[in-house]
Amino acid sequence: MARAGPCRKGPRTQLDTGEGGYPTYYILDAKWNPLGLSEQQVLLVGKLMAERKLTPIEKVLEKVHQELDESPEYEKIVETLKQHPASMPIQYLPIVTPEDQDYVSTQLKTGLFGVTKETIRKARRVVIAYSQGAKQGVGGHLLGRKVFGLVSLLRGVAEGVSLISPFPFHNCYCHRGRQAFIDAVRMINRRTTICIKVSPSRISSSSYPAWPESPRTIRW
């Protein structure tokens, strides 16, 4: 997940959530493992915590009892937090906060990891990356030992599973296939701007049909 630059002060800049890319704010332990709170619960608890500062759960619970006792999420928050040791430190990590959501784009890459209808509906801009320019051949490979905690959550896969991102989109081998994919995204989110990202590398037509030779700007 990459952040293009500061966005809360001064001119607004585009934020790229990366592949899939939601949620964009978390309550994590010291090893960056999510605690199992819902997005709404994370926002409520996050307001009681300093950003990116490890705080013992017992201290967080004290503030929850004081500030959130009338919230409909109160009992579920307390139940979830009490599943962990009281002395365990946790942190609130906002990558993109709710006030910045209008400036978020999300990528649909060849592996489609973490991509759901809900993540597409949230994004004001969807970037379809049609190929892995720096990872030709078999594509990208994320080793299973790196797929844990937050990575597992964002990619939507079980922990410890190695992930392969193929070089091309295997469901888009012609212009009609690409247009059908774009149309599918448009049906999910009719308000989003759809952008196309294509590798500048030369690809043989037998393995992946090229885009039209003449340069042009295409908008959907």
Domain range for 150? 100-197
| Residue 117 and residue 86 share a domain | no
Q: How do residues 91-133 score in pLDDT, each as one tens digit?
A: 998 877 777 777 777 888 777 777 888 888 888 888 887 765 5
**Is residue 124 in some structural domain?**
yes
| Residue 147 and residue 80 share a domain | no
End-to-end, the C-alpha distance of the chain in Å comes to 25
Q: How confident is the model at residue 119, as a pLDDT?
A: 82
Q: How confident is the model at residue 177, as a pLDDT?
A: 80
Last residue of one domain, picked from the residues 75, 94, 113 = 94
**Is residue 217 in some structural domain?**
no
Cβ within 8 Å of residue 163, ≥6 positions away: 111, 113, 140, 141, 142, 144, 147, 155, 157
| Residue 110 and residue 87 share a domain | no
Four-point Cα dihedral 28, 31, 33, 37, nearest 10:
-20
**Is residue 14 in some structural domain?**
no
Total of domains in the chain: 2
Q: How confident is the model at residue 131, as a pLDDT?
A: 64
Last residue of one domain, picked from the residues 94, 129, 154 = 94
184, containing H or E segment: helix 175-188
**Is residue 19 in some structural domain?**
no
Axis crossing angle, helix 74-81 with helix 57-67, rounded to the nearest 10: 170
| Residue 121 and residue 79 share a domain | no
Q: How far is residue 23's CA from residue 17's CA, in Å, rounded to a whole number?
A: 9
Where the chain has pLDDT below 50, the residues are 1-11, 203-220
| Residue 134 and residue 192 share a domain | yes
Cβ within 8 Å of residue 55, ≥6 positions away: 49, 89, 90, 91
**Is residue 206 in some structural domain?**
no
**Is residue 209 in some structural domain?**
no
| Residue 131 and residue 81 share a domain | no
**Is residue 12 in some structural domain?**
no
Q: How confident is the model at residue 116, as a pLDDT?
A: 83
182, containing H or E segment: helix 175-188
Q: How far is residue 220's CA from residue 218's CA, in Å, rounded to a whole number?
A: 7
**Is residue 3 in some structural domain?**
no
